[in-house]
Amino acid sequence: MVSVQALRRVNFWGGMITALTVVLAIIWAFPLYWGVISSLKPEDEVVRPYIALWPETLTFQHYIHAITATQIGNWYVNSVAVAVGVTLITITSSMLCGYALSQLSFPGRKLLWWLILASFMVPTQALIINHFVLVAQLDLLNTWAGIMLPQLIHPVIIIVYKQFFDQVPRDFREAAVMDNAGEFRILSKVYLPMNWGVTTALSIVTFIWTWNAFLWPFLSVTRTEMMTITVGITQVNDAFGVYYARELAAAVLAGLPVALAYLLFQRKVTEAITLSAGIKG
């Protein structure tokens, strides 16, 4: 039998571990809080030699400055355009390919599947030289299309789609075939509606991944007005001297869309990310 003392002891240590986890979580998120709160202080308050967890004067002046006096508006438009474009193209092409792999038999199916699995290993960072050559030859440097092109592939999305399409009971397909429905009709009327959940989840994370991309957007754009926001806020200093709070306000603006996407769709985001690592959540 479990003695009462033993149970108490277990509860005490269990409680300690839980408390420790919560404290660590707060410490973990503290740099984020510190970044946000510093961006809401006047510049002279930011550089005071002591720690003030709350601003004496709360100000949005740095945000107003970022929006009205820098190119951040441009960068936002570029980031949104690129992220939406990549998401649409990647999700559509992956869904179609995943459907073919799951539901149709055709010569070369095995080879295609093998190619997709093999592509997991390819480090895209190693391909930057030849991506640059390719995009330069197509005359797409400093354009949205050029920023998008090498980012249009996430093989894992095809694999996730195939898994989900595989799970749709065969009866649905047979019924649709009996009705003389074509493949595109079956996909759009049966398979897609049954998998809206995973489609939204994958779209959200593809958007986040593209929004966050740094290396390729950084290499393929040299004109400041064509930069995405992740590149722009680190590469352009449009004023002399250092303005810490201003930089942090720009950082908050750059992180806001993805942070909001995560906080609003927490379940979906974590589901898609777990799936993309090859685990069923």
Partner 1 sequence: MLINRRKDTLIAAVLVAPFLAIYLLVFIWPTVQMFGISFTDAPLIGDGNFVGLDNYARLDSDPRFRTAAWNTAYFVLLTVLPGTIVALLIALGVSRLKGRAQSAVLALFFLPYILPVSVVYLIWDWVLNFQFGISMHILDWLGIDRVPITKTRAWFMPAMAVVTIWWTAGFSILLFLAGLRAIPAEIYEAASLDNASRWTVFRKITWPLLYPITSLVFTIQLISQLKIFDQVYLFSQGGRPNDNMVLVYYVFQRAFQQDQGGRAAAVAVTLFVLVVAVSVLQFQLLRLSGGRR
Residues 89-108 interacting with partner 1 (rule: CB under 8 A): 89, 92-94, 96-97, 99-101, 104-107
User: What residues between 175 and 214 interact with partner 1 by CB under 8 A?
Assistant: 182-183, 208, 211-214
Q: By CB under 8 A, tell whether 114 contacts partner 1.
A: no
Q: What is the DSSP string of the chain?
A: ---HHHHHHHHHHHHHHHHHHHHHHHHHHHHHHHHHHHTTS-HHHHT-SS--SS-SS---HHHHHHHHHSTHHHHHHHHHHHHHHHHHHHHHHHHHHHHHHHH---TTHHHHHHHHHHHTT--GGGGHHHHHHHHHHTT-TTSHHHHHGGG---HHHHHHHHHHHHHS-HHHHHHHHHTT--HHHHIIIIIHHHTHHHHHHHHHHHHHHHHH--HHHHHH--SGGG--HHHHHHH---SSS--HHHHHHHHHHHHHHHHHHHHHTHHHHHHHHHHHTT---
Task: Report in angstroms how near the CB of residue 219 gets to partner 1 at its nearest.
Answer: 7
Q: By CB under 8 A, tell whether 87 contacts partner 1.
A: no
Task: Report in angstroms how near the CB of residue 58 gets to partner 1 at its nearest.
Answer: 18
Q: Which of 21, 44, 54, 68 binds partner 1 (CB under 8 A)?
A: 21
Nearer to partner 1, 198 or 269 (CB): 269
Nearer to partner 1, 21 or 68 (CB): 21
Nearer to partner 1, 4 or 26 (CB): 26
Binding mask 43-82 for partner 1 (x = CB under 8 A): ---xx-xxx-------------------------------
Nearer to partner 1, 48 or 64 (CB): 48
Nearer to partner 1, 68 or 125 (CB): 125
Q: By CB under 8 A, tell whether 221 contacts partner 1.
A: no
